[in-house]
Amino acid sequence: MIIFLFALDQKKADINWRKLSAMEIRKFRSEYNLELIPASHAGIFLGDLVWDPILGPPDFSRKGMPNTIYTAFLDAGLVNDIDWEQFRKENQDTPLVPAHFATRHVDVNVEFIQELQHPKIGKISGEFVSEKLSKFTFGNLQMREMNDLMRIKIDQFLEQMKASRWKEYDGSIRRVFLITELYYGTIRMLIEKQFSTELEDSMKKVELMASGRSEGSHAVEYEFSHENVPFAMRIERVRNFNG
């Protein structure tokens, strides 16, 4: 009976976390007109394809979906391997520029932090639970944006694909989304002073270094570099894409 009750409690907890995740994603979308990326990493680039479910986080590896729009063109015989490499490199090398938000930083609900599989956060989430965080933000906001020339190229290939490879277009990419902007920011975590030693011990265990530390009378703020890991993106549905 104890095992059964524990299983029920765990199931309820999982459901609650999924609800919180969906709520935070919807809230973020409404507030910033962007998609939060809970499971982010440095391998996410402009031109990548995303399945955006009604509820829950975006899916970058849906069955039957190419990983990038350029892979879809390669599979359809519209580009060769050299073209694919060039397109990919152009988007990877897109420079970071300041992002213009209404505020200087982006706030994330601290209860949602355990759902963020960001490389920096993941290192300490198991050791230092979110209940001890007072505030979590992304600051020094920057972005990468797909340029007009690349948009025109993609639009032209999409028109070719619709005309000559409709089956592949309809079956693999028409219903998915394309990343056209990526957003980055330094991570800032504010905690009460009494928990700072515990956090720093956890950081030492996983060899995590803060790029900045400011101490006040009651709280300590830690800052971590983004290391090219985006926290949000702008996506456009492929079937509505216009160069």
Q: What is the per-residue pLDDT across 35-60, written as a single tens digit (0 to 9) for each?
A: 888 888 899 999 999 998 666 678 88
Mean per-residue pLDDT for 180-186? 95
Percentage of residues in the chain with pLDDT exceeding 70?
84
CA distance 200 to 190: 13
- What element of type H or E holds 236? strand 232-237
Contact 182, 143 (CB under 8 A): yes
Percentage of residues in the chain with pLDDT exceeding 90?
43
Per DSSP, the three-state class of 149 is helix
153 to each of 87, 150, 235, how far by Cα in Å?
Answer: 10, 5, 17
Which residues, 6+ apart, have CB-to-CB distance to 37 below 8 Å? 44, 57, 58, 230, 231, 232, 233
Contact 125, 160 (CB under 8 A): no
Mean per-residue pLDDT for 53-75? 86
- For the chain, first and last CA: distance in Å? 60
pLDDT band at 2 (very low <50, low <70, confident <90, very high): very low
Q: What is the dihedral of CA 120, 110, 10, 6, to 10 degrees?
A: 110
Q: Rounded to two decimals, what is the model's pTM?
A: 0.85
- The residues facing 107 across adjacent strands are 137
Say what the pLDDT of residue 14 is. 42
CA distance 94 to 148: 12
pLDDT tens column, 6-38: 343 434 434 343 454 567 778 888 888 888 888
Contact 124, 105 (CB under 8 A): no
C-alpha neighbours within 13 Å on the C-beta side of residue 218: 1
